Amino acid sequence: MGPPAPLSGPRPPVVALTIAGSDSGGGAGIQADLATFAALGVHGASAVTAVTAQTGQGISAIHEVPAGVVSEQVRKVCGDLEVGAVKTGMLASAATVRAVAAALAGCGVRSLVVDPVLVASSGARLLALDAEAALVEELLPLAFVVTPNLAEAGALVGSEVRDVAQMREAAAALHRMGPQWVLVTGGHLAGRPVDLLSGQGEVTELDAERVPGPDVHGTGCVLSAAITAHLALGASVPQAVGRAKAFVTGAIRHAKRLGGDEVLANPGWSRPAELRGTSGYLR
């Protein structure tokens, strides 16, 4: 029959890279990031920083990947693939933060989304205390967008963030650490949920929908991954954030219940029903 014909057709897919920990339950971390990339039509590459034994109910074990192996994953992907945007999630240790920052600086990545994952909802630390300084000093100056929630913003700036006025103050303080854009998410605000987007001298309050129901695991990962995917596809930051907010709202509205109290954000919600199925969907 002879050799197969060479591949031809459209240009190679847009590539986004996630640098994060593995969630064995599949609801957050690189699993949620890659599912989000795929749902948005972007090829997902990954650099694994840690292996966790977890579900949405908690974390029972964490094994960190050596910092040198993490940085080599980043260098290999960026060296061989045309990466459109990168996001970081769980980085675990100061050594890994520094290694990732050095690798990304060497790659010349322009669209870096930093999701400053500090503590899991169960209370387990996902970034060592001594690594927070490394995050501020080494990684935030490289960030195009940083996406802290209220608790993460408060920890990074060293003051409480519990209302919109304090979100504005935190955004200004975070800008001084280097990021070009700051998105402080307000899902944990009392009352109306508001996200605050700051960049290019403007601050915008973005209304969000509070979807009734149980707490949903993985929403922060899905949001930051969706922003990364849209940046890779060529969107501006305000466009990427707006589209990502709509996407994560859908992922919450169509969250999956896997058993007991395990409820996960569903990045596949926008696929046709015949492809994603309906079993296990809350709404």
Write the CB contacts of 40 (distance below 8 Å, at least 6 apart in sequence). Answer: 226, 229, 230, 233, 247
Higher pLDDT, 19 or 10: 19
pLDDT digits (tens, 9 = 90+) for 118-161: 877 666 777 878 899 999 999 999 999 999 999 999 999 999 99
Q: Are 222 and 265 in contact (CB under 8 A)?
A: yes
Q: Which two tokens stand for residue 7?
A: 């591949």
What pLDDT is recorded for position 22?
97
The mean pLDDT value for 17-22 works out to 97
What pLDDT is recorded for position 189?
86
Spatial distance between the Cα atoms of 52 and 163, rounded to a whole number of angstroms: 33
Q: Where are the domains of the chain?
A: 15-274
What pLDDT is recorded for position 123?
61
Could you give the 3-state DSSP secondary structure of residue 229? helix
**CATH number assigned to the domain covering 15-274:** 3.40.1190.20
pLDDT digits (tens, 9 = 90+) for 50-106: 999 988 778 899 999 999 999 999 999 999 999 999 999 999 899 999 999 999 999
What pLDDT is recorded for position 3?
57
Q: Which amino acid is at 194?
A: V
- Does residue 281 come out as left (phi exceeding 0), alpha (psi in the -120 to 50 range) or beta? beta
Taking 60 as the threshold, does the pLDDT of residue 273 lie above it? no
What pLDDT is recorded for position 211?
84
DSSP symbols for 89-154? ---BSHHHHHHHHHHHHHHT---EEE----B-TTS-BSB-TTHHHHIIIIIGGG-SEE--BHHHHH
Taking 70 as the threshold, does the pLDDT of residue 6 lie above it? no
> For the ranges 80-89, 216-225, 268-277, which has the lowest average pLDDT?
268-277
Band of pLDDT at residue 111, cut at 50, 70 and 90: very high
